[in-house]
Amino acid sequence: MSRTTITLDSDVEAMLHKAMRERGITFKDAVNDAIRQGLGRSARPVGEISFPTYSMGRPRVDLTHSLALAAELEDDEVARKLEQGR
């Protein structure tokens, strides 16, 4: 473990203090968790998060060739712009 001095922007300091209040953790833990999360490792688990899902029903169009259609539309738009001299 090492000690270091850093200068925090005021908005970052406010976010750290908010996390400290909400989660009941120390400043050191809030900083370490934020750095871990920012560098790609997950912070200490706070709890499981779930999001609602909804059925969109059957698709109304066949999406099998949708990428080909998108490419064709893009090609048409590029050709139109080239004709206009853009």
Q: What is the pLDDT of residues 41-71, one digit of tens each?
A: 655 566 677 889 988 888 777 778 888 889 9
Indicate the pLDDT class of residue 17, thresholds 50, 70 and 90: very high
* 19 inside domain: yes
- CA atoms within a 13 Å half-sphere pointing along the CA-CB vector of 43: 16
Higher pLDDT, 43 or 36: 36
Residue-range definition of the domain harbouring residue 19: 8-44
> Which residues fall within 8 angstroms of residue 8, CB to CB, at 6 or more apart?
16
Please compute the mean of the pLDDT values over residues 4-12 and round it to a whole number. Answer: 91
pTM score: 0.45
* 71 inside domain: no
* 28 inside domain: yes
Please compute the mean of the pLDDT values over residues 17-33 and round it to a whole number. Answer: 93
Indicate the pLDDT class of residue 38, thresholds 50, 70 and 90: confident
